[in-house]
Amino acid sequence: MHYTVSGRRDRETVLMIQGLGADSRGWVRQRRAFGAQHHVIVFDNRGVGRSDKPEGPYDLNVMAADAVSVLDAAGVGSAHVMGASMGGAIAQILAVRHADRVRSLILACTACQHHPWRRELLARWATVAAEQGMAACSHEAFRWVAGPRSTQRLWLAMGALGALPGRGPSGPFVSQIEAILAMDDDIRFELRGVEAPTLVLVGTQDILTPLGDSEEIAALIPNAELAVVGGGAHGFMVEHAGAFNRTALDFLQRVTTRDGRDGAGRTAPGTLAS
């Protein structure tokens, strides 16, 4: 697992988990903004970026354990966990299965259960990636990530920032999709036991994980807050970074402990063996 740390070592840690096919570059518009007030850890999920790309099958529970291993390697006991899309599903698993490691949750553009239409869509992406390659899959997926008014403007930017599946081997990407499709829908019932302060964040133009998905999560987690970013699509951490950052940082300011310390560790890039 490849991870990097930055920001203020004397402040509480924010662990950022990206979504399907995306690596930690997808948080480039968050790292500086959050690093001014917090200690920040970003990492590449298994199968993307500079982390290992083992053969499948993958499992979201194992990928949540990967995130815990990154915290261990960085010397961090607990963190505010921010996950987007698939990363949001991993963050939910962390809050349920590793509650002692989670100070708060920011769940962005994510869901807690499958819908038949989304299962079919993800299965199609896996088929396109396997048969036609990752470039074809990126074109197929892009309209689900960016808002309709931003498609041409953001195509190159989002690809460069790692917010879209890359041009590497399709096997790890397919394995990530299979892990999502294998996720137990019963996780949503366990969300009722989550005690961590939670912000659920979604854009009004998100067609991949629409508002209803976020409303469901916010209704299940006790005392969760729901925030909606006008005009934001699934990739709103890039497309509407200003509004995304302001909303998330305001939440973190309200839930961070007074002294802002948690014993965060190293500041140099690190590599952790699987």
Burial class (CB in 10 A: 0-12, 13-18, 19+), 195: exposed
Alpha-carbon gap, residue 208 to 144, rounded angstroms? 6
Q: Give the start-end residues of each E strand in 62-152.
A: 79-84, 102-108
Q: How confident is the model at residue 261 (pLDDT cuts 50, 70, 90)?
A: very low
Q: How confident is the model at residue 178 (pLDDT cuts 50, 70, 90)?
A: very high
pTM: 0.90
Render pLDDT for 78-116 as a digit per residue (tens, 0 to 9).
999 999 999 999 999 999 999 999 999 999 999 999 999
Burial class (CB in 10 A: 0-12, 13-18, 19+), 259: exposed
What DSSP character marks residue 191?
G
b/e map 113-134, b = 16+ CB within 10 Å: beeeebeebbeebbebbeeeeb
Residues 6+ apart with CB under 8 A from 205: 147, 148, 231, 232, 233
Using the predicted structure, report yes or no on whether residue 274 has a pLDDT greater than 90: no
For 268, other C-beta atoms within 10 Å of its C-beta total 8
pLDDT score at 49: 93
- Tell me which residue of 195, 203, 196 sits closest to 247, measured CA to CA: 203
What DSSP character marks residue 136?
H
b/e map 165-192, b = 16+ CB within 10 Å: bbeeebebbbbbbbbbeebeeebbebbe
Length in residues, the chain: 274
- Tell me which residue of 56, 55, 90, 88 sits closest to 70, measured CA to CA: 90
Q: Say which CATH superfamily domain 2-262 falls into.
A: Alpha/Beta hydrolase fold, catalytic domain (3.40.50.1820)
pLDDT score at 101: 98
Q: Give the start-end residues of each E strand in the chain.
A: 2-7, 13-17, 39-43, 79-84, 102-108, 198-203, 225-229, 270-271
Render pLDDT for 10-27 as a digit per residue (tens, 0 to 9).
999 999 999 999 999 999
Alpha-carbon gap, residue 123 to 174, rounded angstroms? 9
For 163, other C-beta atoms within 10 Å of its C-beta total 29
What letter represents residue 7's amino acid? G
Render pLDDT for 179-207 as a digit per residue (tens, 0 to 9).
999 998 778 899 999 999 999 999 999 99
Alpha-carbon gap, residue 16 to 30, rounded angstroms? 9
Q: How confident is the model at residue 164 (pLDDT cuts 50, 70, 90)?
A: low
Using the predicted structure, report yes or no on whether residue 167 has a pLDDT greater than 80: no
CA of 14: how far to CAs of 131, 144, 249, 266, in Å?
38, 27, 11, 14
* Tokens representing residue 73 in the block: 């390697």
Alpha-carbon gap, residue 230 to 274, rounded angstroms? 40
